[in-house]
């Protein structure tokens, strides 16, 4: 019998929301500042998942720029109601709350409906009378926790006053978020995440006999967490979950979690995991045999439905990028194009490495809920003027602890500022890249490591040793002539080695065994995972040049 292997969606695919339509299952995940936005996944057996596209794949649907990679789209919810699919999500780059609809998740999604007044991590729920409710996390004020309001799906407006539902299981619970409302039997359930999305993450639940009644937390909360396990466990920071019932009456929970390796380093970010659920005394019991998420489970009582794996090599023969590829920001500035079976990336002015320090939100220790709410309001107002554009970067998520990358690139330098190559990127400020450049009139291949540590909130992740220091480091360099190159990146755990050559029989080591331990959110900050990809830049000037990539190969080990 086949089995269910975790993570069901490996790599940086966090905040999973799941729904079922007949015998088809769909998952939506966060994408932050990467475009297209909100990856969508389809399965028939809950074990094999295929990326069928994105909910936000047109420029007019999603405005973002690359100034902060942990902005953009946070925590979507996907729901199926009365023959129509809905995705609701907040865009932290602009402060907009977006709803799109479709009759087929693999088809075109609607123009965006913008809804004012929604807080964080919005959810959609229809009661027995057909009223649509939007639940979300309130940011301060008298309703710190989860609130709900009616949503008029004709005018796309919230109506009525916010109704407080629950503040979480813990006393003064940090970050009550990710709400989902369910009607199961005679009970209304509210399931949320709390504890923050690092090591203390948890899933908790409350219920009420009526939607307007008081929601009482389960005495067995949290119903899922790994915060009681040692920090360097196989699976950590489990939380932000959603429930689904199969057509055969089985229950499952999808949740985000991470797989650290080489120490407490979560380079792949938060991934999508699954666990079975049973019900006892009207409450869910998750992973009932062990109480924690396991790497494997018996498959559900569903017919096996394998999907075709993504090819390791992309020769860019299509007129459209394959679903695994993304840019940083909304590419209204056309930083790349496909032509003659090549991916052409332009040497626009913005560098792949941002030289300004990241904008860090103040912790505001001791601030009142009202002060926190006011801070967020001002921040969102500032972001309404966001001008969308994208970096000259095309990449895909790192999905394995060890992997090999190879790119075939044609690049003729015409300006001393220009660079192009391949990159292992966690954000604007933490990356390792192999690039072609000119120094003192000579063409070189060099490996650059750029580090800027952003320690997490100590309340959510206790202190631990950080091995890196901030700075830009040249890890290796060789002179090389010509314009056609093979670029290779071999990662064995946290050891990264980079090679270059004009053919595969004569590859030269540029730098070997570079530690990538700084590429997890616990040191780099933010909410994303690592990407591998291709880039070009004029590093301050739009030089009108480009790098052409004949192919890109990613092989997970």
In tens, the pLDDT along 343-388 reads: 999 999 999 987 555 544 444 445 666 666 676 667 666 677 789 9
Residue 463: how many CB atoms within 10 A of its CB? 8
280 is catalytic: no
SS3 143: helix
What 8-state DSSP symbol labels residue 384? T
Tokens 């580090």, residue located = 451
SS in 3 state form for 447-485? Answer: EEEEECCCCCCCCCCCCCCCCCCCEEEEEEEEECCCCEE
Q: Residue 179's Cα: distance from chain center in Å?
A: 18
Residue 542's H or E segment, with its range, is none
What is the full DSSP assignment across 73-126?
EEEEEEEEETTEEEEEEEETTTTEEEEEEESSTTSPPPPPEE-TT--EEEEEEE
What pLDDT digit, counting tens, does each position of 266-306 carry? 999 999 999 999 999 999 999 999 999 999 999 999 999 99
Conformation bin of residue 510: beta by default, left when phi > 0, alpha when psi is -120 to 50? alpha
Which residue among the candidates 177, 194, 198, 406 is catalytic per the annotation?
177
pLDDT greater at residue 468 or residue 304: 304
Please state, rounded to an integer, the average pLDDT across all residues of the chain: 93
Lowest mean pLDDT among 96-100, 136-140, 241-245, 334-338: 136-140
* Per-residue pLDDT at 2: 86
Please list, in sequence order, all residues whose beta carbon lies within 8 angstroms of the beta carbon of residue 174, skipping any fewer than 6 positions away: 194, 195, 196, 200, 459, 460
* Per-residue pLDDT at 3: 94
Q: pTM of the entire structure? A: 0.95
β-pairing verdict for 442-451 and 430-439: antiparallel
Pull the structure tokens for residue 143: 């309703």
Residue 277: how many CB atoms within 10 A of its CB? 20
* Per-residue pLDDT at 461: 72
Would you say residue 443 has pLDDT above 80?
A: yes
Pull the structure tokens for residue 214: 């008081």
For the chain, report the end-to-end CA distance as a whole number of angstroms: 24
Residues 397 and 327: their CA atoms lie apart, in Å, by: 11
What pLDDT digit, counting tens, does each position of 516-529 carry? 999 998 888 889 99
Taking the CA atoms of the chain, what radius of gyration do you get in angstroms?
Answer: 23
Residues 167 and 477: their CA atoms lie apart, in Å, by: 55
Q: Which residues pair with 249 in a beta bridge?
A: none
Confirm if 32 and 13 have CB atoms less than 8 A apart.
Answer: no
pLDDT tier at 56, thresholds 50, 70, 90 = very high
What pLDDT digit, counting tens, does each position of 74-125 carry? 999 999 999 999 999 999 999 899 999 999 999 899 999 999 999 999 999 9
Would you say residue 262 has pLDDT above 70?
A: yes
Residues 120 and 338: their CA atoms lie apart, in Å, by: 37
What 8-state DSSP symbol labels residue 354? -
- The residue ranges of every structural domain in the chain are 3-298, 313-556
- Three-point CA angle 104, 107, 109, nearest 5°: 90
* Per-residue pLDDT at 463: 67
Give the mean model confidence (pLDDT) for residues 501-514: 96
Which residue among the candidates 15, 45, 194, 314 is catalytic per the annotation?
15
Burial of 45 by CB count in 10 Å (0-12 exposed, 13-18 middle, 19+ buried)?
Answer: buried
Residues 279 and 288: their CA atoms lie apart, in Å, by: 9
Please list, in sequence order, all residues whose beta carbon lies within 8 angstroms of the beta carbon of residue 541, skipping any fewer than 6 positions away: 349, 415, 417
* Per-residue pLDDT at 141: 53
Confirm if 76 and 17 have CB atoms less than 8 A apart.
Answer: yes
What b/e sequence results for 211-244 when a residue is b if at least 16 CB atoms lie within 10 Å of its CB, and e otherwise? beeebebbeebbbbbbbeeebebebbbbbbbbbb
Q: Which CATH number fits domain 313-556: 1.10.3720.10, 2.60.120.200, 1.10.300.10, 3.50.50.60?
A: 2.60.120.200
177 is catalytic: yes
Tokens 């994105």, residue located = 54
* Per-residue pLDDT at 455: 72
SS3 549: strand
Residues 168 and 176: their CA atoms lie apart, in Å, by: 6
Residue 210: how many CB atoms within 10 A of its CB? 10
Q: How far is CA 70 from CA 73, 390, 528, in A?
A: 9, 14, 6
- Three-point CA angle 13, 430, 535, nearest 5°: 80
Residues 164 and 192: their CA atoms lie apart, in Å, by: 14
- Written out in words, the top-level CATH class of the domain with range 3-298 is mainly beta
Residues 281 and 279: their CA atoms lie apart, in Å, by: 7
Pull the structure tokens for residue 516: 């990538």
Lowest mean pLDDT among 60-74, 244-258, 265-279: 60-74
CA dihedral 443, 397, 295, 401 (to 10 degrees): 10
């Amino acid at each position: 019998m086949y089995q269910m292997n975790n993570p069901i969606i490996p790599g940086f695919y966090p905040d999973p929301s799941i729904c079922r339509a007949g015998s088809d299952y769909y998952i939506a995940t966060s994408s932050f500042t990467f475009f297209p936005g909100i990856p969508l996944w389809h399965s028939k057996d809950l074990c094999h998942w295929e990326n069928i596209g994105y909910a936000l794949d047109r420029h007019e649907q999603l405005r973002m720029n690359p100034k902060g990679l942990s902005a953009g789209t946070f925590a979507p919810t996907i729901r199926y109601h009365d023959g129509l699919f809905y995705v609701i999500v907040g865009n932290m780059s602009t402060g907009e709350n977006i709803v799109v609809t479709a009759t087929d998740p693999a088809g075109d999604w609607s123009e965006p409906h913008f809804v004012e007044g929604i807080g964080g991590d919005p959810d959609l729920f229809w009661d027995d009378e057909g009223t649509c409710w939007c639940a979300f996390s309130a940011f301060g004020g008298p309703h710190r926790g989860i609130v709900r309001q009616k949503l008029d799906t004709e005018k796309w407006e919230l109506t009525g006053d916010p109704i407080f539902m629950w503040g979480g299981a813990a006393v003064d619970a940090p970050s009550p978020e990710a709400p989902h409302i369910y009607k199961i039997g005679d009970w209304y359930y509210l399931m949320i995440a709390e504890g923050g999305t690092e090591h203390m993450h948890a899933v908790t639940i409350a219920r009420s006999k009526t939607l307007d009644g008081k929601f009482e937390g389960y005495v067995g909360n949290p119903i899922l967490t790994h915060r009681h396990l040692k920090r360097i466990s196989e699976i950590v920071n489990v939380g932000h979950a959603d429930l689904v019932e199969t057509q055969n009456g089985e229950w499952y929970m999808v949740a985000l979690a991470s797989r650290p390796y080489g120490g407490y380093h979560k380079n792949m970010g938060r991934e999508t995991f699954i666990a079975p659920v049973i019900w006892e005394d009207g409450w869910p019991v998750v992973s009932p045999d062990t109480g924690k998420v396991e790497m494997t489970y018996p498959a559900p009582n569903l017919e096996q439905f394998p999907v075709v794996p993504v090819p390791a090599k992309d020769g860019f023969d299509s007129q459209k990028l394959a679903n695994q590829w993304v840019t940083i920001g909304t590419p209204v500035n056309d930083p790349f194009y496909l032509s003659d079976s090549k991916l052409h990336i332009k040497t626009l002015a913005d560098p792949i490495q941002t030289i300004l320090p990241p904008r860090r939100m103040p912790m505001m220790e001791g601030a009142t809920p009202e002060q926190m709410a006011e801070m967020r309001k001002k921040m969102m107002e500032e972001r309404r003027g966001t001008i969308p554009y994208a970096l000259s970067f095309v990449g895909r998520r790192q999905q394995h602890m060890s992997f090999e990358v190879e790119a075939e690139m044609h690049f003729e330098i015409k300006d001393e500022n220009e660079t192009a190559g391949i990159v292992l990127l966690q954000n604007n400020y933490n990356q390792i890249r192999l690039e072609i450049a000119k120094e003192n009139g000579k063409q070189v291949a060099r490996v650059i490591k750029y580090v800027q540590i952003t320690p997490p909130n100590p309340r959510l992740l206790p202190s631990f040793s950080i091995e890196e220091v901030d700075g830009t480091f040249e890890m290796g360099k060789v002179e090389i002539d010509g314009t056609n190159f093979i670029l290779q990146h071999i990662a064995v755990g946290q050891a990264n080695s980079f090679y270059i050559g004009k053919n595969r029989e004569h590859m030269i080591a540029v730098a070997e065994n570079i530690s990538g331990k700084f590429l997890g959110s616990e040191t780099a900050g933010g909410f994303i995972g690592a990407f591998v990809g291709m880039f070009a830049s004029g590093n301050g000037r739009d030089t009108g040049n480009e790098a052409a990539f004949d192919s890109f190969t990613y092989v997970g080990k």
